[in-house]
Amino acid sequence: MPLAARISKEMLKPHLLVSGNSSLSGELKVNGAKNSALVLLAASLLTDEEIILSNVPKLTDISGMTAILSKMGVEIKHKTKDIFLKANDLRHVELPYELVHGLRASFFCIGALLGRIGKAKIPLPGGCKIGARPVVEHIRGLKALGAIINVNHGIVTASVPGFEGQLKGANVVLDCPSVGATETILMAAVLANGESTIENAAQEPEVQDLAKMLNKMGAKIKGAGGPKIHIEGVKKLHGCEYTVMPDRIEAGTFLIAAAITRSVLKVTPVISDHLNAVLQKLRDCGCRLEKDGEGIKITPGEIHGVDITTQPFPGFPTDLQAPFMALMTTAKGTSVITEKIYENRMQHISELQRMGASIRLQGNTAVIEGVSELSAAPVEGRDLRSSAAMVLASLKANGTSQVVGLDHLDRGYELIEEKLNKCGAHIIRKQH
């Protein structure tokens, strides 16, 4: 499509106008973790008592999950960053397709529903189109716990046989350390009869956050954060108050924003152990990092190319691959970025190339030759993290870029333009 036609077409969509050559300063605040909050919301189904979640980000994915829970009969109240949930009257066990298809995290509800009431009917999930993210591991684990599961026409129907309708403890060995499968099986096992183990479990901080809240509700979980989790089933869980941990992906995005604009910034709060792999790559490419209370102060120097390979935690997170690639397009020398988690997570490359980046894609490996400058262009984020990468690249480019794909961006970043503008960026949101 000719550039003029593309601009005309994209101007009709909600978009950000991002002024380039930005210099940032001050402090960027990190919200509660989206990926943690979503599964903690699902965990509220495990008790008939009130759950109070604090530090919950205001995102479209969070709104989607609360809408799903509300449809199922959960009483929900909002107060600033707090959400009050009470699932004492679960009226619906069949989740509506129109709500579920755009939110992959909705599938986590199946484990909690089976554990609590012994039945569920859930359409297969959607979300960003970044590759195959099958729910086979979830289903295999739930079957090991005694569930009967059928998948027909995109609908997963699950039930627990027997008079009591209670899952049975089991040893589950995952083929791959899937975060979603680990969380689903964990929620199902806490109310199962007997002891369960999850081997080759995901070690991500979000899994640890879920286990902490479940234990606060009365669960008996040991080993979360390691490759083997042990669960002793309990009869009942009670309500609790719990604060969602800081979002490590948002924190990483903001640190990369400082690096790409060569700006000194403080990003807070950050749990540095959640970002060790990212922090090391930022040091390797030329940034100085200092722990400053609850946050991190970043002082970029001359940025040099470094290689990264995405891996499950504690490796480099796939969710920061696109933002880090944006940084590498502006580095001196060559960098090689290999995506090992999702097979279709290189959709941002063509958009970065539109801005003048020099990138060669070979399978799921990108070879980036740093360029002296990027040029403003109309670009599109085609998934959540590539949208963030487009914003970061636009902050560095010469001129004003137009970034579309805000439906993706708003799933994971709360008012990102307002936060960046407070630190010196100039970003305008246009609704059409």
Segment 330-340, tens digit of pLDDT: 999 999 999 99
- Smallest CA-to-CA distance from 85 within 106, 63, 70 is with 70
How large is the average pLDDT for residues 253-260?
98
User: At 292, is the secondary structure helix, strand, or coil?
Assistant: strand
- Smallest CA-to-CA distance from 324 within 344, 342, 345, 354 is with 345
Instruction: Answer for the pair 376, 399: CB distance below 8 angstroms, yes or no.
Output: yes
Of 43-57, 75-89, 117-131, 195-209, the range with the lowest mean pLDDT is: 117-131
Please state, as a whole number, how many other Cβ atoms lie within 10 Å of the Cβ of residue 304. Answer: 15
The 8-class DSSP code of residue 423 comes to T
Instruction: Answer for the pair 111, 151: CB distance below 8 angstroms, yes or no.
Output: no
pLDDT at 128 over 50: no
pTM for this structure? 0.92
Please compute Rg for the chain using Cα positions. 22
Q: What are 37-68's pLDDT values in tens digits?
A: 999 999 999 999 999 999 999 998 899 999 98
Of 81-85, 107-111, 364-368, 404-408, the range with the lowest mean pLDDT is: 107-111
Distance (Å, whole) CA 226 – CA 242: 22
User: Higher-confidence residue: 161 or 101?
Assistant: 161
Active site residue 128: yes
Q: Given pLDDT bands bounded at 50, 70 and 90, which one contains residue 127?
A: very low
User: Higher-confidence residue: 80 or 222?
Assistant: 222
Delimiting residues of CATH 3.65.10.10 domain(s) in the chain = 3-31+246-430, 34-243
Instruction: Answer for the pair 81, 54: CB distance below 8 angstroms, yes or no.
Output: yes
pLDDT at 114 over 90: yes
The overall average pLDDT reported for the chain is: 92
CA distances (Å), 3 to each of 6, 50, 377, 379, 386, in order? 5, 54, 9, 11, 21
How large is the average pLDDT for residues 8-30?
87
Confidence (pLDDT) at 344: 74
Confidence (pLDDT) at 2: 60
Confidence (pLDDT) at 131: 42
Task: Domain 3-31+246-430: give its CATH code.
Answer: 3.65.10.10
Q: Given pLDDT bands bounded at 50, 70 and 90, which one contains residue 130?
A: very low
For 34-243, CATH number out of 3.40.640.10, 3.65.10.10, 3.10.28.10, 3.30.300.30 equals: 3.65.10.10
Confidence (pLDDT) at 292: 85
Distance (Å, whole) CA 120 – CA 17: 44
Distance (Å, whole) CA 375 – CA 355: 5
Transcribe 15-69 into DSSP letters: EEEEESS----SEEE--B-HHHHHHHHHHGGG-SSEEEEES----HHHHHHHHHH
Candidates 109, 128, 287, 423; catalytic one: 128
Confidence (pLDDT) at 143: 95
Number of residues in the chain:
432
